[in-house]
Structure 1
Amino acid sequence: MTTQRRYDIDWLRVIAIALLLIYHIAIVFQPWAMFLGFIKSEELMTGLWKPMTLLNVWRIPFLFFVSGMGVYFAIRKRNWKELIMERSRRILLPFLFGVVAIVPLHFLIFQAYYNLPLGYSAHPAHLWFLGNIFAYVLLLAPIFFYLKKSENGAFKKKLAVWMSNPLGPLSLSLLFVLEVILVKPQVFEMYALTWHGFFIGILAFFCGFLLVYSGEAFWKTALRWRWVYLGLALGMYLTRWFAFDLVAPGYLMAVESVSWILAIFGFGYRYLNKPSAVLSYLSQAAYPVYILHMVALHTAAWVILPLNWPIFLKFLAIIGFTGLFCFVIFEFLIRRIPFLRPLFGLSWDFKTSKIKAVSVPSLD
């Protein structure tokens, strides 16, 4: 069964991962960087926190939305056994490899920078996201395949009608509001290795599936009402900034998060649904870069922070160093050495594994 190509979602995935890298680099220049296991600059750029907190409410939930969308398209061509096997190869294997072989590297760099005793430590760290995705596939597969069998049933028809209403997609935020009320996270943006992160992730994953399951109804609504969703998101962000000093109640941040995501989908559908050779390359690189970027970032911080450069130049240099490091490792090692490819989520065969920008743009 073929699926409609959706280059916009692939572009959005690439952009979201690029923003993730810049966000993590910005943490280096915050006073609490070491608390999160980052090398900390002696000079700080606390002004970066305001744009960081704009990103923080939607960047991780957005990637879970996209990953759920990917599963919808995957099950159109697979049964449940094939799905589990494929996700084990594309997600579980890179996750386990990263835990034992990639994360310990950036831990060692951190230890060496601060003259701490060197020690090996297997840990999920930033790869917690992959572990969560695999868990969500296992937990939600029965529901997804049930919905697949009922694709012409009453539920999908009613869902499509509801998603044709601008309040339909926005109503999904009620699930996220309920999550923060029940889980009561101390910090809304603290997703990694927390129950809040697990539950907000599974909700976003499921909602992403439902949005594409509803058919064209959602995309037409997102396109038509994208400016309204953007205005709502921006208004809530400014309210959070000026009325709550950026720390609004969780239920408001949940609505803001979903509003940003809907706006992003709408603008992406309008402007990014175009194929290109650049997209093909970046889409293939995104997953390995995500796995590898913390090693690159820590190396960049170790090399650049001691230099007698202006702080903003250090920030830009770490961005450039991290990007170049990841590109070199991906292009000349991961992409070209067959046994490395599956460890970073790629297929074995370099010659025949041309990426196709179809509507399965998840970290898979």
Structure 2
Amino acid sequence: MLEIQDSRRYDVDWLRTLAFLLLILYHIGMYYVQDWGWHIKSEHTFAWLQELMILTNRWRMSLLFFISAMALSLVVKRYSNMTLLKLRTNRLLVPLIFGMFVIVFPQVYVEAISQNLITPGVLSFWLEYINPNTSLLRDHHSPIGLLTWNHLWFLPYLWVYSVIVILSHQVLDRFIASIGPRIPFAVMFGLLCLALIGCWYWLAQSYPVTHALVDDWYNHSKYFLVFITGYTFARVDTWWQYVIAKRSWLLGIALLGYSFIVADRNGGFPWLAAQYEDSFAVQMLYGIFFTANHWAWIFALIGFAGAYLTKPTPFLLYANKAILPWYMFHQTVIIVVAWNLKEFALPAAIEFPLILGSTVLTCLIGYEIVRRTPLTRWLFGLKQQNKRGF
């Protein structure tokens, strides 16, 4: 989420903005989707939402890591390592720490209230929430007590991956320059699928997803692979031009993978599913469909953005600055608004647009407030105001 200056790739800006806006819809969907756990759940849940949300949940966070790595790759030569580390820390860790103490807190409070785990009292609960030695809700503690980052988990992961790449980028850059242009995109795509299959096969069972950073080895293997790939991809112009030219083919592969996943979930291949546990070949077949789906969506979106989203607009220029505060605000607003609407027992057709509208409006107002003082700009990872204004 490091902003690109000067010769901007507006297609990267568009993808980053649209990917973060997708999170708003996705997290509202988590409130309504049937059988998937979340912080709170609506009285109205829908099984069909699973099929719709599976369209993106296999690759949406990977796309964010990929784009963030591309942005870093495009600016890394313009700054010293220390300057980049400072920029990334101010952009990621400061908002993370502030977000954990202030922005995420209402999510934890509402979740605890909804499960009748605590008695109402915002201030008293917050004092316990920030106390690492609290005895409240012991069963829900992490190593730092009740304090958590919830949806902000992306920020520490991105910071760690960025630090590794920044400190090693000179070696990485030489490797990319010597090897990258020699490898056809199709070969690279196949190698990426094999690498992701390996991550899934050897790590997914032993290290289920936690988003806790220190023990999340399957996620690290997947997302760091994506991050390194995004960093490399931005440097190999032949790959970039290839995915733009072949975007429709990549979309076809992505849709084929998605169709297989949905059909399998609904019993479309019972003879395959019956052999899954005992057959390595069947497991690899599933791995091919799942990983091709993952990578094809990422590259197809990059291809379509490179073909059609190459111009700035007033919305993009505004959103590119506002996207981090919007990301920080959105899930808390969704949970708080949804919880307060529960007492009205509204139909989902009315409740959903109210939650969506309230979230969008609060994010807009929140950014307008945040951007107006040096302190709040720093806490939300924004650049300090220059002489030309906001």
Give the AA of the match of 2:25. Answer: I
Cα shift at 1:2 = 7.4
Kept in 2: contact 1:170–1:258 (CA 8 A): no
Give the AA of the match of 1:256. Answer: N
Structure 2 residue 240 is matched with structure 1 residue 219: yes
Cα shift at 1:116 = 2.9
Map of 2:193 onto structure 1: 173
Structure 1 stretch displaced more, 262-271 or 342-351: 342-351
Kept in 2: contact 1:39–1:298 (CA 8 A): yes
Map of 1:201 onto structure 2: 223
Distance 1:107 1:32 in 2: 21
CA shift in 2, pair 1:206/1:46, >3 Å: same
Matching of residues 75-86 of structure 1 within 5 Å: 75-86=76-87
Map of 1:240 onto structure 2: 261
Matching of residues 47-58 of structure 1 within 5 Å: 47-58=48-59
Match of 1:7 among 7, 10, 21: 10
Give the AA of the match of 1:345. Answer: G
Distance 1:267 1:107 in 2: 39
CA shift in 2, pair 1:343/1:277, >3 Å: same
Give the AA of the match of 1:79. Answer: S
Secondary structure of 1:275's aligned partner? coil
Secondary structure of 2:234's aligned partner? helix
Give the AA of the match of 2:230. Answer: G
Kept in 1: contact 2:76–2:84 (CA 8 A): yes
Map of 1:359 onto structure 2: none
Matching of residues 179-198 of structure 1 within 5 Å: 179-185=199-205, 190=209, 192-193=211-212, 194-198=216-220
Cα shift at 1:220 = 0.8
What do residues 147-200 of structure 1 show as CA deviations (whole Å, max 9, x unaligned)? 34x3xx7x525412324x444345322221221122124899x57333222221
User: What is the root-mean-square deviation of aligned Cα atoms in Å?
Assistant: 2.5
TM-score (norm 2): 0.81
The gaps in structure 1 that reach 5 residues or longer are: 355-364
Cα shift at 1:351 = 5.5
What is the percent sequence identity of the aligned residues? 28
Distance 2:387 2:103 in 1: 26
Distance 1:282 1:75 in 2: 23
Cα shift at 1:212 = 0.7
Structure 1 stretch displaced more, 344-353 or 308-317: 344-353
Kept in 2: contact 1:26–1:315 (CA 8 A): no
Distance 2:47 2:358 in 1: 22
Map of 2:33 onto structure 1: 30
Distance 1:61 1:32 in 2: 24
Structure 1 stretch displaced more, 117-126 or 265-274: 117-126
The gaps in structure 2 that reach 5 residues or longer are: 119-124, 130-145, 268-272, 274-282
What do residues 104-144 of structure 1 show as CA deviations (whole Å, max 9, x unaligned)? 22211223344431451311211111000111122233332
Cα shift at 1:337 = 2.3
Distance 1:286 1:86 in 2: 17
Give the AA of the match of 2:299. Answer: L
Structure 2 residue 87 is matched with structure 1 residue 67: no
CA shift in 2, pair 1:170/1:351, >3 Å: farther
TM-score (norm 1): 0.87
Structure 1 stretch displaced more, 102-111 or 259-268: 102-111
CA shift in 2, pair 1:288/1:137, >3 Å: same
Secondary structure of 1:28's aligned partner? helix
If asked which structure has higher relative contact order (CA below 8 Å, sep 6+), I would say 1
Distance 1:200 1:144 in 2: 20
Map of 1:138 onto structure 2: 163
Structure 1 stretch displaced more, 232-241 or 343-352: 343-352
Distance 2:324 2:47 in 1: 30
Map of 1:256 onto structure 2: 293
Structure 2 residue 329 is matched with structure 1 residue 328: no
Give the AA of the match of 2:238. Answer: A
Kept in 2: contact 1:180–1:251 (CA 8 A): no
Match of 2:20 among 17, 20, 24: 17
Cα shift at 1:338 = 2.0
CA shift in 2, pair 1:353/1:63, >3 Å: farther
Map of 2:121 onto structure 1: none
Distance 1:69 1:313 in 2: 40
Distance 1:87 1:179 in 2: 27
Cα shift at 1:32 = 4.1
Secondary structure of 2:343's aligned partner? coil
Cα shift at 1:78 = 1.2
Map of 1:89 onto structure 2: 90
Q: What is the number of equivalent residue pairs in this alignment?
A: 344
Structure 2 residue 159 is matched with structure 1 residue 159: no
Structure 2 residue 250 is matched with structure 1 residue 229: yes
Structure whose alpha-carbon radius of gyration is higher? 2
Kept in 1: contact 2:260–2:289 (CA 8 A): no
Give the AA of the match of 1:303. Answer: N
Give the AA of the match of 1:201. Answer: Y
